[in-house]
Structure 1
């Protein structure tokens, strides 16, 4: 039982009509709440949520402006756990993230007077936006914005889910939970708990999220987009003197074109943009104004991204699982060691992908997926019936390996998933697995490489030959070409 609909025996179309996303209860799916979609919505309830976010930012700014915020106040006002019960976010394995800890609290509390200097009194943009904090070089990223937004609207998500629970979830599958940090009492200056009746899953509750406030990859307001539209933003500055000063300053920060330096690199351009933004932070307000003027574009983009996630991680994975069930051994408990069991699962998947049209799972709108993380999530979802522990190793001192499949401390196999298009593939094959094996105290590992073209296959064969890995049985190549389903390929 992978999805909310399966576990709680609710028809998927009921969840769809309610407007919620049918989440996986095996692994986080790569979606998150974009606060701009609250602002841009025509629904009063979402607009109110955005106002409440701004109100809380005003409270924090006022406290930060006074200075000398104690560690206890930082913990109470700025630090939040990840709301992992949404089963959405940036976790590759499971649903546990880092949340908003001391680093975030220190960065935001120190920089609030600068980042939100005109908070509540905007003269350029229509209102304040939490995402603005991620546009400055202060160590706050999109995952922080996502976690903060979810925490600040948690009361709404709890009420939204409780309403669905009381109507559609069987009494045996729900329970009452006292939830911490539900709403902020401005008189007491503290977050307050409240009790809710919610879906019960593994001694914890589950939260549903409306599809229309979700997106993937980036917020509508984001740093990459600011950089790509920098010239457009600068030219939109109404004050001609400021516009001239900005353009001149930016030009002077770029290196001169000479015979020895005939072209400005993207890195040099980005550095000049950052320096210009630091000198003229009002540019960010003009960028936000441009984004505010395209609310419909934000809605269209988010809808497209959510549909892609549903297509890949719900619809396609469901079809893949149906095909895997034809191999009855795939879901049968085994007494084999972790390496044998992992290798068998990988080869089952390989067969289905190459021989039973399973390759289609790797394509969205006819285009192959480009992120290794997506391949990793797909593989994790197929392990839902396994008796083995499948975890992402994060504390081994050498960085995370995709999976550690284990049955007790003495039986562990590392599984790495790679795309053939990865520019670091050679380096990975030379060093990565051996380093992970050493750090995880295991000598068993499997590397799975997915390729989409004949050129990628030929390059892989040359690379494996060069590294003397052609006969290595723990390196599995999966043919995901849409135009050629011939013999299986295995190094």
Structure 2
């Protein structure tokens, strides 16, 4: 039941930590991303060289766009990239698949380079150019795109980094020589070339696995990001030394804001006016980036904390719960159809969470998890080991469901893992699951609702009573409160 890299490839976690690599799950993507700012700010010369190589490629693309040498074939060759699924990081809720960088990304990137950042590489305000700059002003290039683009552009480094570790520490029987496409760009021919590496081989997926250094990873937003830039708009113009230009910026902002008669404006209106002002005055972007460069040490601290938190929640806590489930229940050895199996597994999980300390999986530094996406990844990692096929976000034409547990075409059970605080919980309970059942032709559907406070429990109970389904077998409430558990000695 190997869930993580070190399990499958027979290396210790200490060995991985000493090497500086993140111990990825080989079951599911974890919500981590490569932040190119961490390459720029690092004192590691190799990272700085990688950052410069990224900028070199962006300048190459910019020059081709401005020279009118970009056609459909070159767009595909230079701007389209596959999902680097082998690093096991990203948004996927089951497995490690993704859409990659396709036409939408290529269009947004080429447009931004052409009409907004023709001076990319020659900035006078910030210390350096930054890849993130091309996603700041217009929508279309997001956090996951930046990480995917960065990952593709440093593919040779990641493969070499993994190869060095693999050859030194992993049984040769678990390695394979692999040709990797788009590993190195040849500026002489204007084309990507492949390279061969000796990499860890995951026989189950018939694919290789990549390791990534922890010190270039972050979670949530990149340090340089559009949300921060828009929300900090009122502070950024103050850094402009030209008073006349500063006045023009604020005047244009007020013009675009078009305040209503009562003077009340929404956050959305403020954000839209700020975005239009950045497009009108691109120099503001450079001042925002300079501020981010000047506070780079904070980026390192924040990213390190987020990576440590991710490792604690998605590895340490998951492993602890897996051990409890394996030692005290029959969670990983259940016979029967998917409906009974799912109910029994939920019963075991509920018992471990409520009575045996398993609730800690959802808590970090006194705060409960905030995103249902994190809940789904945790559930997927815990559920691994079932004889049934576990799919996520199954969409049979009328909307997605969190998980579809199936054994063949005629034995399916749908399960949704929900946070009690979800504002759409009532609507979901009332309408969604019957639609999913009809669309999937599933016999059964089950809701698992996790709450972290008495207030959340009272809210869920009131909804269930109002809908007439309180106590229904297929609605499973799980108490994950941190202040309502037995002591460690009693729990043991």
TM-score range, shorter chain: over 0.9
Match of 1:267 in 2: 268
Match of 1:104 in 2: 105
- Return the alpha-carbon distance in structure 2 between the equivalents of residues 450 and 115 of structure 1: 46
- Return the alpha-carbon distance in structure 2 between the equivalents of residues 111 and 287 of structure 1: 17
CA shift at 1:141, angstroms? Answer: 1.0
- Cα deviation digits, residues 433-480 of structure 1 (max 9, x gap): 222223322242111111011111111111011111113211111101
Larger displacement relative to structure 2 (248-257 or 47-56): 248-257
Asked whether the 8 Å contact 2:415–2:447 carries over to 1, the reply is yes
Match of 1:385 in 2: 385
Asked whether the 8 Å contact 1:391–1:404 carries over to 2, the reply is yes
Asked whether the 8 Å contact 1:479–1:485 carries over to 2, the reply is no
CA shift at 1:70, angstroms? Answer: 2.2
- Return the alpha-carbon distance in structure 2 between the equivalents of residues 134 and 442 of structure 1: 42
- Cα deviation digits, residues 323-355 of structure 1 (max 9, x gap): 111234111152x11121112111111110001
- Return the alpha-carbon distance in structure 2 between the equivalents of residues 183 and 92 of structure 1: 30
Match of 2:425 in 1: 425
CA shift at 1:430, angstroms? Answer: 1.5
* Structure 1 residue 167 corresponds to structure 2 residue 168: yes
Structure 1: 4+ residue segments shifted above 6 A: none
* 1:269-348 equivalence runs, <5 A: 269-334=270-335, 336-348=336-348
* Structure 1 residue 235 corresponds to structure 2 residue 238: yes
Match of 1:245 in 2: 248
Match of 1:402 in 2: 402
- Cα deviation digits, residues 166-218 of structure 1 (max 9, x gap): 10000111111111110001111111001100101022110000000000001
Asked whether the 8 Å contact 1:115–1:132 carries over to 2, the reply is no
Match of 2:216 in 1: 213
Asked whether the 8 Å contact 1:255–1:264 carries over to 2, the reply is no
The root-mean-square deviation of aligned C-alpha atoms, in Å, is 1.4
TM-score, structure 2 as length reference? 0.95
Gaps of 5+ in 1: 487-491
* 1:150-165 equivalence runs, <5 A: 150-165=151-166
* Structure 1 residue 223 corresponds to structure 2 residue 210: no
CA shift at 1:285, angstroms? Answer: 1.2
CA shift at 1:380, angstroms? Answer: 0.4
CA shift at 1:262, angstroms? Answer: 5.0
Match of 1:133 in 2: 134
Query: Alpha carbons of 1:398 and 1:124: their partners in 2 closer, same or farther (altered >3 Å)?
Result: farther
- Return the alpha-carbon distance in structure 1 between the equivalents of residues 441 and 134 of structure 2: 41
Asked whether the 8 Å contact 2:28–2:94 carries over to 1, the reply is yes
TM-score, structure 1 as length reference? 0.96
CA shift at 1:228, angstroms? Answer: 2.2
Match of 2:490 in 1: none
- Return the alpha-carbon distance in structure 2 between the equivalents of residues 263 and 294 of structure 1: 33
- Return the alpha-carbon distance in structure 2 between the equivalents of residues 359 and 110 of structure 1: 48
* 1:9-158 equivalence runs, <5 A: 9-67=10-68, 69-158=70-159
Asked whether the 8 Å contact 1:376–1:402 carries over to 2, the reply is yes
- Return the alpha-carbon distance in structure 2 between the equivalents of residues 262 and 463 of structure 1: 38
- Return the alpha-carbon distance in structure 2 between the equivalents of residues 83 and 256 of structure 1: 45
- Return the alpha-carbon distance in structure 2 between the equivalents of residues 86 and 200 of structure 1: 12
- Return the alpha-carbon distance in structure 1 between the equivalents of residues 38 and 217 of structure 2: 8
CA shift at 1:257, angstroms? Answer: 5.6
Query: Alpha carbons of 1:319 and 1:288: their partners in 2 closer, same or farther (altered >3 Å)?
Result: same
